[in-house]
Amino acid sequence: MCLLSGFLYFLGTSQNFMDSTQLLLLRMMAIFGILLTVSSVFGFAIDMVYLFRKKKIRYLASIVFYGISGVIGAVTAITAFFIIVVTAGNANTAGIF
Q: Smallest Cα–Cα separation from 32: which of 69, 76, 68, 67? A: 76
Instruction: Report domain extents, the chain.
Output: 2-89
Over residues 41-64, the mean pLDDT reads 88
Q: What is the pTM of this model?
A: 0.74
Pair 60, 40: CB distance under 8 Å: no
Report the amino acid identity of residue 91.
Answer: A
Q: Which secondary-structure segment (H or E) carries 57?
A: none
- What number is the average pLDDT over the span 57-61? 83
User: What would the pLDDT profile of 3-37 be if each residue is shown by its tens digit?
Assistant: 676 666 666 666 666 767 778 878 888 898 999 99
How many CB atoms are located within 10 Å of the residue 66 CB? 20
